[in-house]
Amino acid sequence: MLRLSEVKLPLDHAEADLELAIRARLKDLRVPSDGLVRYTVFRRAHDARKRSDIKLTYIIDVEVKDEASARQHLDAHPHCSVTPDMAYRFVAQAPANANLLRPVVIGMGPCGLFAGLILAQMGFRPIILERGKAVRERTKDTWGLWRKNVLNPESNVQFGEGGAGTFSDGKLYSQIKDPKHYGRKVLDEFVKAGAPEDILYLSRPHIGTFRLVSMVEKMRATIHQLGGEVRFEQRVEDIDIDVLDLSPERVGTFDLVLFLGVLYHVRDPVMILEKVASVTAGQLIIETVVDMIGISRPAAAFYPARELNDDPTNWWGPNEAAVRGMLHAVGFSRVECRTPMRSAPYRAARAAWHALNGKNRLASAYRQDRAVFHAFRR
């Protein structure tokens, strides 16, 4: 398809005027009068830069009979281009009839709701844990606060299905850039759940508070239909614990453990990894500083003072071989480094930046980087 932008018409234009404007633009691309197959409005906005002459500005996606021929003339027309691919592609799909561990999503605000929906659409049958109540019950509790000053600390404008945005006025625009068109997936799901279709093309889309409640319910129903599960009034609490106190008896064991940005801060990395391994039943993900790049045998740089980023809490910078060796030593059968080795020019530029900002010496910074490792019990 082709995309035509900056198609401007008066505020009170007739519907037929839009098609006439499209055909006029296609004429510039040498598309014959019978070459237009169909068109859809991608965006409609107001151009109010001239108060005496406010216009409607359209971005239109058109399908023509001979697109290859029309493409040959795009370079001469800056407001004509190829329509980008806006299709959402799932990053994975659960194998059919596989007995997989079910992912857990904590919280059913906007992010948790869509995380659960996408996981369900991929076939992973997620379990969503929400501290508050279902949206209808939560609405009653919220009105109780606003009208009677009665606060339910677990079900209110903050906690409950849909998150705080459920009681907003449903504005759907922001200033963020979206080069991969993820926002289109969000809008498509909203329309499926009952939002007006014009949110797909209005520059300032708006749903309205009273539609949001039923939309959230319909999205939850979709998750259930796809095998997911939502458990309300389930509070998840964190544990503030020293890594030295980790043990299966204290916290249990977990299928997935994240150990991010910690390894280089500990004085005895092997002992700490033993503690972390004791509560890891399946997979451990480590993110850490690596040092002594280029040395193939296991080795680690020792920082007795402020040698790493002028931070006295940094102690060790192991190289890749050392990290692999330590993880194997504490019981992991398979270790993968998921971070590709940076090129020498990149590391040189990074080292220069660190040296100029007083964070590290040039030679030391050149040997350092950060890396992610995945370690598996089996």
Q: pLDDT digit string (tens) for 191-247?
A: 999 999 999 999 888 888 788 899 999 999 999 999 999 999 999 988 899 999 999
> What does the block give as tokens for 276?
């972390």
Q: Amino acid identity of 192?
A: K
Q: Could you give the 3-state DSSP secondary structure of residue 98?
A: coil
CA–CA gap between residue 92 and residue 77 (Å, rounded): 39
| Model confidence pLDDT, tens digit, residues 284-308 | 999 999 999 989 999 999 999 988 8
pLDDT at position 308 = 85
pLDDT at position 282 = 94
CA–CA gap between residue 227 and residue 216 (Å, rounded): 17
pLDDT at position 203 = 86
> What does the block give as tokens for 4?
């035509």
Q: Euclidean distance between the first and final Cα of the chain, in Å?
A: 48
CA–CA gap between residue 253 and residue 184 (Å, rounded): 39
CA–CA gap between residue 317 and residue 300 (Å, rounded): 5
* Per-residue DSSP letter, 154: T
Segments in 193-296 forming alpha helices (H):
209-225, 248-251, 269-278
Q: Could you give the 3-state DSSP secondary structure of residue 347?
A: helix
pLDDT at position 32 = 92
Helix (H) or strand (E) holding 64: strand 55-64
For every one of its 378 residues, what pLDDT tens digit does the chain have, with 9 covering 90 and above? 999 999 999 999 998 999 999 999 999 999 998 999 999 999 999 999 988 899 999 999 999 999 999 999 999 999 999 999 999 999 999 998 878 889 999 999 999 999 999 999 999 999 999 999 999 999 999 889 889 999 999 999 889 999 988 887 667 777 778 889 999 999 999 999 999 999 999 988 888 878 889 999 999 999 999 999 999 999 998 889 999 999 999 999 999 999 999 999 999 999 999 999 999 999 999 999 999 998 999 999 999 998 888 889 999 999 999 999 999 999 999 999 999 888 888 888 888 887 888 777 777 778 888 999 999 998
pLDDT at position 207 = 87
Structural domains in the chain, sorted by start: 2-82 (3.30.70.2700), 104-232 (3.50.50.60), 243-376 (no CATH)
Pick from 270, 310, 289, 314: nearest CA to 370: 289
